[in-house]
Amino acid sequence: MAALALATTGFGYQQRGLLSCNGDFGRFANGLLVGRPMQLNFVVDWLTPAVVTDTGRTGRIITLTALELVFEIPYADYTATYRVNRIDGTISQQSSVGGVFHGNCDLASLETKF
């Protein structure tokens, strides 16, 4: 259902929406890959287009096609690149300091933000 929402309304949506993503963030600890659950929220303005985090950090859209949305968010110590697959609703993230996030996203209106 999430994939259908992203594919049919997400990129043709003419207003802002909340992209809520849940998954696991993998990082290295003592030479082993460990994971922990994580939720990421982005506010996407499909008309502009623009992306910001739920904490107000502004992202830069790299790719916006019928198949994917790719954007980067600069954080204090690193930059993370996010890739959202429009077909199946999956998201992956890689950062300049290591670690990888994989998960699934749902698209909702901003009224359901919090």
CB of 80 closer than 8 Å to CB of 92: no
Examine residue 102 and state whether it is found in any structural domain, yes or no: yes
Number of separate domains in the chain = 1
| pLDDT winner (highest mean) among 7-11, 25-29, 50-54 | 50-54
Q: Which domain holds residue 103?
A: 2-107
Taking the C-alpha atoms of residue 20 and residue 39, their distance in angstroms, rounded to an integer, is 7
What is 47-90 written as a DSSP string?
TTTEEEETT-PBPEEEEE-SSEEEEEEE-SS-EEEEEEETTT-E
User: What pairs with residue 15 in β-bridges?
Assistant: none
User: What pairs with residue 102 in β-bridges?
Assistant: 24, 92
| CATH code of the domain covering residue 23 | 2.40.160
pLDDT reading at 53 higher than 70: yes
Examine residue 11 and state whether it is found in any structural domain, yes or no: yes
pLDDT of residue 29: 58
| pTM of the entire predicted model | 0.75
